[in-house]
Amino acid sequence: MDVNSDIETLEEQLNTAERDAQSVAAGLTGEQGNWRPDARSWSVAECLDHLAVSSRVYLRAMEEPAVRARGEGRLRRGPVKPGLVGAWFLRSVEPPVRARFKAPGIIRPRKDPNLPDALADFVASQEAVRAFLRSYADLDLAGVRFPNPFIPGVRFSLATGLHVIAAHQRRHLWQAWRVRRAAEAGRS
């Protein structure tokens, strides 16, 4: 296995999510982008806003341990994959969504965000995640731990964090597509 193929796979997952976000938002008016099937659901714009904010919060938590690992010379020793606990957590995040979690306040979307702005923020957050991935690809991402910013006392590897970001994006883009389809069905 090529030593960089797992990094390329993660990057392609981020690229796919970005294309998916652009597709789900394409052609929607501001009103359609903020339509919700019910008061408890999020709109397409809110899903994108949530993803941008949550990726940035995760990256902030991951940055200092990555910088420290760089200073300590903790270079890559194996594939960028999550451990057992991280893999279990990832399965709980992946779509189709079986369990709903309430988003912590720090990453709840703004109320009725502007769809073009939410999409632009998501795209910018994607570039930040890709930049992190490229900057630290040579580190032991599976061995360096960071404090999960949403679950006190839980530490994940940087590898798990990167996989969680990608899985979380799939989860909420799946949700955004369901909202868009419901909105389109209601217009028929």
Predicted local confidence at residue 159, as pLDDT:
95
DSSP 87-98: HHHHHHHSSSP-
Predicted local confidence at residue 1, as pLDDT:
42
Predicted local confidence at residue 3, as pLDDT:
54
CATH number for the domain whose boundaries are 5-187: 1.20.120.450
Q: How far is CA 188 from the centre of its chain?
A: 32
Give per-10-residue mean pLDDT for the chain (188 aa): 78 97 96 92 96 96 98 92 80 75 80 94 98 96 94 92 95 96 77
User: What residue spans define the domains of the chain?
Assistant: 5-187
DSSP secondary structure code for residue 156 in this structure? E
Predicted local confidence at residue 109, as pLDDT:
87
- Per DSSP, helices labelled H in 108-157 are 115-135
DSSP secondary structure code for residue 151 in this structure? S
Predicted local confidence at residue 21, as pLDDT:
98
